[in-house]
Amino acid sequence: MQQIRAYNVKHNYNVSSFLEDYRRLLQRAVDEIWNNIVWIKKKNFYRVKENKNYYVTRIIPIVTKSNEFKNHYLRNLLMKDWRYSKHYVDSAIKQAYSIVKSWSRFTLTGEEADEDFNELKRSPRLMNLKSYVSQKTT
């Protein structure tokens, strides 16, 4: 078993412009995935205790997961005007799919979600820059 240690190294580099560019790249990826979501209506059957049955229509998002979309269209689109290394684009795509997947899971299982409200049709927005920088303090 190999032990890996991480150390803090002080530097004078200004990384705030890189972090802001990465946040914008990630938001573009989320928006592009969002624009390619297919919305379907599905009837769910529910049974109530008093032997009453009823149907509820739900709106279900289907996220595009094809390799043609991910690895060709989305990657080429995000590579335009990107001045840093290519692996950051791949990381942003992976992170954007994770964000949309967790949002989609919430819409399917969230009890507080009101499906008639526009909350389900609104794209996730990345607000706080610090929430996407992983830090570990021990």
Task: Give the residue numbers spanning the domain of 63.
Answer: 16-132
In a domain, 11, yes or no: no
In a domain, 44, yes or no: yes
In a domain, 1, yes or no: no
Closest CA to 133 of 19, 13, 8: 19
In a domain, 137, yes or no: no
Q: How far apart are CA 101 and CA 74, in angstroms?
A: 17
pLDDT in tens, 72-97: 999 999 999 899 999 999 999 999 99
Which DSSP string do the residues of 5-66 spell out, in sequence order?
-----------HHHHHHHHHHHHHHHHHHHHTPEEEEEEEEEE-TTS-EEEEEEEEEE----
At residue 11, the pLDDT reads 87
The number of folded domains in the chain is 1
In a domain, 116, yes or no: yes
In a domain, 52, yes or no: yes
pTM for this entry: 0.69
pLDDT above 70: residue 115 = no
In a domain, 82, yes or no: yes
At residue 22, the pLDDT reads 94
Residue 136 pLDDT level (bands cut at 50, 70, 90): very low
In a domain, 138, yes or no: no
